């Protein structure tokens, strides 16, 4: 079986030869023959399993025996290692990884699947929607909590920290978690609706685990990890340490995902996040401020949600420059098993955070009931005011 990895390749060699070069570099070969090579290691050699000349794609099969189970850093060192630097290749992009059952099942996967999370917030029949506290940084814990309260009163399912907010002097995590949960509990008493708070525990591995435990002990109901900057190993450790769903941010990903011909696609990243225990992952917006390839977003979303060995499905998250006018454009692609988030698109509402949250929810209901925003906004003031401000276009379209 092994791991079948699909690479887009450009080089002066044939695709077959390029695939062989990758396979040898990452398994039993080197650039010259060596006398230390024994005869019995053919079973470890990665080989080309298919070639698609039209699309410059080659699939390389890496035998299971090359890998350590339950060790993502080691797997990446093989299938996404030196090969990116080979002088003999001009461009190479890891597009997808197809895992063998044995390797895939050696990982824990998400503790909380889509249904588990939907049940918590009572959103069985609709997408979740959430907000990122804005501004990204600078609010003290009490003010953060007030914004969270307003958003919860407006109906959001999820409030999250921004990816750069961890535990700086102006907002220590121990103060923030208790203040925010207090306000969210208050909102729950008033509305009956539980709001998740994705508290960002991103730090060195051990410290992240300690922060996650603090969140759990403080009555928190979700933790958040920046997976690329802190490592898959940190995500997994956090997910194993606490009985909470993990919201996964991908800050830094576009350093290697953005160029279409080189680097790593979000598809394998999505699979690795699911293996490591992420319950929600940012996979991009079909329309917003961040760059995204529609095809890759679609494949990432499937990687998170499709039936896959014994692992629970995870929720794709659309985020970045979203406002009520862009909700339908995104949900048409993501569907109801997703999370749609707005930061500026909620807190920038002319009547403030609470009305901004209401406007987002109205846009979601309009989408669900297949009513145009124009029509629905006639009787929904919050939505009408959001549309007045931002219309139905993304910021960078203006």
Residue among 2, 110, 127, 263 that touches a second copy (CB under 8 A): 263
Bridge partner list, 89 = 11
Which residue, 219, 277, 283, 297, is CA-closest to 249?
A: 283
- Interface of this chain with a second copy, residues 282 to 341, rule: CB under 8 A: 289-292, 320-321, 323
Q: Does 8 bind a second copy (CB under 8 A)?
A: no
Backbone angles phi, psi at 66, to 5 degrees: -70, -20
Distances (CA, A) of 177 to 10, 199, 258: 49, 7, 34
Give the C-alpha separation, 339 to 336, whole Å.
8
Residue among 37, 260, 295, 393 that touches a second copy (CB under 8 A): 37
The CA-based diameter of the chain, rounded to the nearest angstrom, is: 80
Q: Does 38 bind a second copy (CB under 8 A)?
A: yes
- Residues 131-160, one symbol each (x = binds a second copy by CB under 8 A, - = not), give --xxxxxxx---x---x-------------
Segment contacting a second copy (CB under 8 A): 22-30, 119-127, 152-160, 376-384?
Answer: 22-30
Q: Which two tokens stand for residue 67?
A: 């890998």
Determine whether 134 is an active site residue: yes
DSSP of 179-218, one letter per residue? HHHHHHHHHHHHHS---EEEEE--SSHHHHHHHHHHHHHT
**Helix (H/G/I), strand (E/B), else coil: 57:** strand
Nearer to a second copy, 1 or 255 (CB): 255
Which residue, 111, 107, 22, 88, is CA-closest to 58?
A: 22
- Interface of this chain with a second copy, residues 330 to 389, rule: CB under 8 A: 343-345, 347-349, 352-353
- Interface of this chain with a second copy, residues 90 to 129, rule: CB under 8 A: 94
Least Å from the CB of residue 231 to a second copy = 3
Nearer to a second copy, 80 or 158 (CB): 80
- Interface of this chain with a second copy, residues 162 to 191, rule: CB under 8 A: 163-164, 166-170
- Catalytic residue selected from 249, 299, 311, 361: 249
- Interface of this chain with a second copy, residues 219 to 238, rule: CB under 8 A: 226, 228-234, 236-237
Residue partners of 374: CB distance under 8 A and separation at least 6: none
Q: Does 72 bind a second copy (CB under 8 A)?
A: yes
Q: Does 398 bind a second copy (CB under 8 A)?
A: no
Q: Which two tokens stand for residue 53?
A: 């000349």
The catalytic residue positions are 134, 249
């Amino acid at each position: 079986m092994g791991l079948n990895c699909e690479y887009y390749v450009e080089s002066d060699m044939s695709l077959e030869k390029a695939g062989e070069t990758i396979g040898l570099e990452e398994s039993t070969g080197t650039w010259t023959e060596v006398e230390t090579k024994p005869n019995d290691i053919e079973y470890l050699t990665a080989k080309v399993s298919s070639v698609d000349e039209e699309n410059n794609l080659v699939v390389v099969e890496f035998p299971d025996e090359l890998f350590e189970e339950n060790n993502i850093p080691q797997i990446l060192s093989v299938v996404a290692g030196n090969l990116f630097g080979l002088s003999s290749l001009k461009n190479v992009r890891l597009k997808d990884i197809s895992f063998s059952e044995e390797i895939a099942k050696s990982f824990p996967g998400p503790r909380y699947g889509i249904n588990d999370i939907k049940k918590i917030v009572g959103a069985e029949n609709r997408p979740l929607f959430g907000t990122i506290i804005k501004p990204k940084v600078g609010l003290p814990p009490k003010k953060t909590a007030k914004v969270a309260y307003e958003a919860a009163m407006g109906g959001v399912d999820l409030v999250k920290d921004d990816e750069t907010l961890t535990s700086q002097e102006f907002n220590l995590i121990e103060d923030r978690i208790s203040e925010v949960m207090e306000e969210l509990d208050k909102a729950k008493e008033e509305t009956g609706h539980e709001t998740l708070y994705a508290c960002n525990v991103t730090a060195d591995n051990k410290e992240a685990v300690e922060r996650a435990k603090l969140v759990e002990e403080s009555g928190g109901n979700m933790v958040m990890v920046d997976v690329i900057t802190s490592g898959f190993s940190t995500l997994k450790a956090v997910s194993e340490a606490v009985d909470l769903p993990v919201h996964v941010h991908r800050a830094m990903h576009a350093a290697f995902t953005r160029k279409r011909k080189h680097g790593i696609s979000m598809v394998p990243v999505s699979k690795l996040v699911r293996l490591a225990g992420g319950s929600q992952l940012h996979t991009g917006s079909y329309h917003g401020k961040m760059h995204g390839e529609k095809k890759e977003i679609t494949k990432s979303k499937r990687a998170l949600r499709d039936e896959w060995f014994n692992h629970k499905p995870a929720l794709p998250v659309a985020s970045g420059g979203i406002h009520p006018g862009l909700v339908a454009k995104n949900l048409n692609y993501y569907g109801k098993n997703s999370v749609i988030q707005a930061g500026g698109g909620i807190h920038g509402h002319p009547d403030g955070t609470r009305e901004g949250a209401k406007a987002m929810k109205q846009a979601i209901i309009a989408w669900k009931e297949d009513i145009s925003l124009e029509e629905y906004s006639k009787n929904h003031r919050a939505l009408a005011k959001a549309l007045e401000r931002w219309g139905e276009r993304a910021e960078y379209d203006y």
